[in-house]
Amino acid sequence: MAPQRGLRRARIAFSDSAAKQLENITSEAEIHAVDRALVVVSVDPDVGEPISGDRAGPQLRQYADEVERVRLLYFVTALRTVVVVAYIEV
């Protein structure tokens, strides 16, 4: 019997502003919280709620983890292989 492959996670990429926000996080607890949120979004890019707006471009989504107090704004590429994080709030 052939081994089953797990679900493939989307690759995470950051906008310039999100990368700068990430660089400014110094608390180990905040880094851990952001990491957990990024894993959730990479495993299931549809987990976030759509943010209403223009349908011309990619659909902007928001994922908020109330326990970890993290919010990510992101969009998923057309092939659903990359999640681009546009904003991070911890």
Q: Output the tens digit of pLDDT for each of the chain's 90 residues.
A: 555 556 688 999 999 999 999 999 999 999 999 999 999 999 999 999 998 776 666 789 999 998 889 999 999 988 888 899 999 888
Model pLDDT, residue 2: 52
Model pLDDT, residue 66: 87
53 contacts: CB under 8 Å, gap ≥ 6: 59, 60
Q: What are the start-end ranges of the H helices in the chain?
A: 16-23, 28-43
Model pLDDT, residue 79: 83
Q: Model pTM?
A: 0.83
